Amino acid sequence: MSAPTPKLVRLLGGRDAALIVMGGIIGSGIFMNPSVVARFVGSGFLVMAVWVAGGLIALLGAGIFAELAARRPADGGLYAYLRDAFHPALAFIFGWTLLLVSQSGGMAAAAVTFANYFATLTSWHASTAGVAVVAIAAFTAINALGVRTGTTTQNAFMVLKVLAIAAFAAIGLFAVHAAGGALATPAHAAPGGTLAVIGLAMVPVLFAYSGWQTSSFMTAELHQPQKTLPRGLIAGVGVVVILYLAVNAACLRALGIGGLAATNTPASQVAGIAFGPIGLQIMAAVIALSTLGFLSNQILTSPRVYFQMAADGTFFKQLAWVNTRTHAPVLAILLQGAIAIVIALSGSYDQILNYVTCNDYIFFGLAAIALIVFRNRDARHPRAPKPVFSMPGYPVTTLLFLAAAWYIVGDTVLKSPHDTGIGIAILLSGLPVYALFTRKRAAGAG
């Protein structure tokens, strides 16, 4: 009798889920984006209003994914939701885009950002690309040791990030002399007045809040994912919203709206006011820590999608292999790390991120539609289990999130039609690849 095939094991709980949610959201953007928003809206009240609105939309997104997880706790998260609500081909091109550009490009960008701050902090003359490659390789190796090792590492970085951001907010709010509150002149006029300007400012805010979806990739390794993932999503996004609002309030109090709009590095400027030149070093260390933690999160979560694609028979079957000792999808993890390294060495990560912005929000919108599909299906089957979490205010709140997600899609299409077109072409290039794998699977079954 043959030994049972090793599989992913459920070693993670609700606290892990919440920290993974937070780790997928918080990178380096929150330390720069407050200035971008200030230049759009030109007043402190509107800055806070936009970040509050963005936080509410992020909570709507978390609520949608929470109910999806409660109704369909299938391995692979968003990949599985797309597969089961629509068609396996749509799920495949989602995973294809993650592997080729979205997750891999984000990892490369985070690794290079870390390398730049590392060089500033240490004055070493090491190659930026070399440091980035070492960082990616190190986290790839850590995650190959098992989900518990990878998650513990991710969690440790996340706790340090929370403490550092909370300390920064406290310093800005209570230890730095308040700046004047004069209005700034908005740098971007838009037809339609204040509402149009707020709409433009929402784009960088929603970008900063996105990332909770990667936690759904870990479904196969969570205890009772239909319960722990919904709780982790709501708690994790809720904490991030509080942290982001605190950071913006601290920047406004320390710099004023004019000072905030005038700088590209608001967090560093606040730290410099509080501690002088050493404050700049401290903030560089915090941003380096944040980007490293984001890198850790992405290498932990995304290989689970490729693993599930292989388990479904629509991708290289070797990627469904699980190490007998660590119970980790080692080949999927190594593939993810290798592609991220190639992108980091190519220097094309910034351009790649421009390509996939539109694609990411297309899939966010499809997730909202998937919830509508599943609700309608379950309503036709009285014996369908009742989920532990239901989206408050459904269907209005779900449709509101759908509108916000596809507003971002429309904005990126109008602003960057060339990059958007390339991104969609990369996405669609997965269709012939999917056809090849399904034909091969059919031939093997025959």
Can you give the pLDDT at residue 155? 96
Q: What pLDDT band is residue 34 in, cutting at 50, 70 and 90?
A: very high
Phi, psi for residue 394 in degrees, rounded to 5: -60, 140
Q: Are 359 and 408 in contact (CB under 8 A)?
A: no
Share the mean pLDDT of the chain. 90
| Tokens linked to 353 | 């991120």
For residue 57, the model assigns a pLDDT of 95
Please state, in angstroms and rounded to a whole number, the distance separating the CA atoms of residues 378 and 238: 28
Read off the pLDDT of each residue in 124-145 and give the average, rounded to a whole number: 93
pLDDT-based confidence at residue 193 (cuts at 50, 70, 90): low
pLDDT of 88 > 80? The answer is yes
Rounded average pLDDT over 344-371: 86
- Count other Cβ atoms within 10 Å, centred on residue 74: 18
* pLDDT tops 90 at residue 304: yes
- Percentage of the chain lying above the pLDDT 90 cut: 72
**148-159 per-position pLDDT tens digit:** 999 999 999 999
> Mean pLDDT throughout 37-42?
92
pLDDT attached to residue 351: 72
Average pLDDT on 85-108 reads 94
Band of residue 124 on the pLDDT scale cut at 50, 70, 90: confident
Give residue 285's pLDDT band: very low, low, confident or very high (50, 70, 90). Answer: very high
pLDDT at 175: 81
| Model pLDDT for residues 392-405, shown as the tens digit of each residue | 999 999 999 999 99
pLDDT for 253 equals: 94
The pLDDT value recorded for residue 2 is 47
Confidence of residue 119 (pLDDT cuts 50, 70, 90): confident
Dihedral-angle region of residue 185 (phi above 0 means left; psi in -120 to 50 means alpha; beta otherwise): beta
pLDDT of residue 310: 96
Task: Report the pLDDT value the prediction gives residue 44, as an integer from 0 to 100.
Answer: 93
What pLDDT sits at residue 1? 42
Q: What is the pTM of this model?
A: 0.93
Q: What is the pLDDT of residue 29?
A: 85
Percentage above 70 pLDDT, the chain: 95
Model pLDDT, residue 181: 52
Tens-digit pLDDT profile for residues 382-438: 888 899 999 999 999 999 999 999 988 888 888 888 888 888 999 999 999 999 999
Please determine, for residue 7, whether its predicted confidence score (pLDDT) is greater than 50. Answer: yes
pLDDT surpasses 80 at 135 = yes
What is the fold of 14-439? Amino acid/polyamine transporter I (1.20.1740)
